[in-house]
Amino acid sequence: MKKVGVAILGLGVVGGGTYQILTEHREFYQRTQGVDIEVESVLELNRERALALGVPEEKIASNIAEIVSDPDVNIVVEVIGGVDAAREFVLAALNAGKTVVTSNKELFCKYSHELERAAKRQNAGLYFEASCVGGVPIIRTLLDGVQANNISSMMGIINGTTNYILTKMTQEGSSYEESLKEAQRLGYAEADPTADVEGYDAAYKLSILSSLAFHTKVPFGKIFREGISGITQENIADGKELGYVLKLLAIGKQSESGIEVRVHPTFVRVGHPLASVNDSFNAVFLTGDAVGDIMLYGRGAGALPTGSAIVSDIIYAATHSENKYSTFKNTANADKDTKFVTDFKSAYYLRLTVEDKAGFLAKIATVFGKHNISIAHLVQRSAQEDGKVPIVLVTHETHELAVRSAVAKLNAMEGVGHVDTVLRVVM
Ligand code: HSE
């Protein structure tokens, strides 16, 4: 039987899950995949943690050089996270001809061109299913499941931390701050939650997924990004009344006008398949020209779900003689022929606080009219203690830049009021 040796760099949550799956399923893979996969070594500074997981003392390496020079190691799994050391270790493994499996979305988003070049030079594999949406096999779906299609759109809830926070705000009426604290207590959000709540994590994943879906490099810098830290309980309550739930959506679209990529909190109509994806679950909704709509749903993080993606990559690499690389020209920057749409179209929700005086609503309506923004729905709430009134409105589909310009104009109009929130709406 074919024997494959694996080294795991980092035995944190995901590395530990990967070790557990590989050791517990070794005989199962021999029987079902016809391959004997053995963990040959691990690189983990915390020896106690490695020993507690059951790693034999002699398999704990002291440095990366020991691993990349070991002829029994065929596949190196990088699950240490961060960019600098991970990049150095992954390049060392690829340059030594080892196949690499990584869960590192930031590394892959920023350096996939460099890593892929090194892999191709050595005819080594480079696999990254675990970098996006944890246990949900979205990368394999894009590379090996829907490649018959021209994909026009991809919409996903691809960050579990923010989905947990927004679900809690929606179902329990708690504030953003309370919900974030609870997410931190449960280990979903980190002590510094910026990467998740400000949409960086989702944007790294969207860069990888949209490059694969649209067959052209979509760099991180081309993605419009807005996080959820400014969301209030009033916004959530307005949405409920209007028939929407709020989700941090990653949206990628491809049309004759170009590629549109954005991550932002979005009101999704109740009844849309993504509206019922709650708690820390993730989902991706794809539309292909032949297959139509497809939705993948599951756990986007955690030891075993992410370990599942890593071990599936290991098995893929171990059972295929040819490696599969990107289906686009993988360069540092976007191809000069790729057009990106910045003035995208959407419907919008706006919450304003205005003076409660005759003629003020007309002034506001005039600004929208001048920007060719058509209002679909408008509600005036009860007056606040200071006498001002909140106004909630939803527009018909319009242009992003028209909305930004109208908002700037309204906020510059002395004494009229202020636009507190602008959110995009998916009907
Ligand atoms: N922090 C991510 C999330 C998981 O909350 O979905 C890893 O990408």
Please give the mean pLDDT across all residues of the chain.
Answer: 97
Number of domains forming the structure of the chain? 3
From 57-71, 143-157, 295-309, 374-388, the region with the lowest mean pLDDT: 374-388
Q: Are residues 349 and 293 in the same domain?
A: no
Q: Output the domain CATH number for residue 156.
A: 3.30.360.10
Residue 12, number of CB atoms within 10 A of its CB: 14
In a domain, 245, yes or no: yes
CA pair distance 169, 160, nearest whole angstrom: 14
CA pair distance 400, 58, nearest whole angstrom: 59
Q: Are residues 396 and 277 in the same domain?
A: no
Q: Output the domain CATH number for residue 95.
A: 3.40.50.720
Q: Are residues 78 and 194 in the same domain?
A: no
Indicate whether 422 pLDDT > 80. yes
In a domain, 53, yes or no: yes
Average pLDDT rounded to a whole number, residues 84-113 = 98
189-246 residue pLDDT tens: 999 999 999 999 999 999 999 999 999 999 999 999 999 999 999 999 999 999 999 9
| Residue where one domain finishes, among candidates 131, 150, 175 | 131
Range of the domain at 52: 2-131
309-340 residue pLDDT tens: 999 999 999 999 999 999 999 999 999 999 99
Instruction: Choose the catalytic residue: 98, 110, 205, 253.
Output: 205
- In this structure, the residues whose C-beta lies within 6 A of any atom of ligand 1 are 159-161, 196, 201, 300-301
DSSP for 72-84, please give it.
Answer: T--EEEE---SSH
pLDDT given for residue 7 in this prediction: 98
CA of 414 to the centre of ligand 1 (A): 43
pLDDT given for residue 34 in this prediction: 98
Cβ(269)–Cβ(427) below 8 Å: yes
Q: Are residues 394 and 379 in the same domain?
A: yes
Q: Provide CB contacts within 8 A for 280, sequence distance 6+.
A: 160, 161, 163, 164, 188, 299, 300, 301
98 in catalytic set: no
| Residue where one domain finishes, among candidates 131, 150, 182 | 131
What are the tokens at 387?
A: 């006498």
Task: Determine the length of the chain.
Answer: 427
Indicate whether 410 pLDDT > 80. yes
Indicate whether 385 pLDDT > 90. no
CA pair distance 242, 48, nearest whole angstrom: 54
Average pLDDT rounded to a whole number, residues 353-373 = 93
pLDDT given for residue 427 in this prediction: 80
Q: Are residues 85 and 174 in the same domain?
A: no
CA of 300 to the centre of ligand 1 (A): 6
Cβ(374)–Cβ(356) below 8 Å: no
Specify the residue with its C-alpha closest to ligand 1, atom 2. Answer: 159
How sure is the predictor about 386, in pLDDT bands with cuts at 50, 70 and 90? Answer: confident
Indicate whether 415 pLDDT > 80. no
For the CA of 164, the nearest atom of ligand 1: 5
Cβ(367)–Cβ(404) below 8 Å: no
H runs (alpha helix) in 133-232? 138-140, 160-172, 176-185, 194-197, 200-214
CA of 84 to the centre of ligand 1 (A): 20
Mutate-to-test residue for ligand 1 from 201, 249, 280, 297, highest number of ligand atoms within 8 A of CB: 201
pLDDT given for residue 324 in this prediction: 92
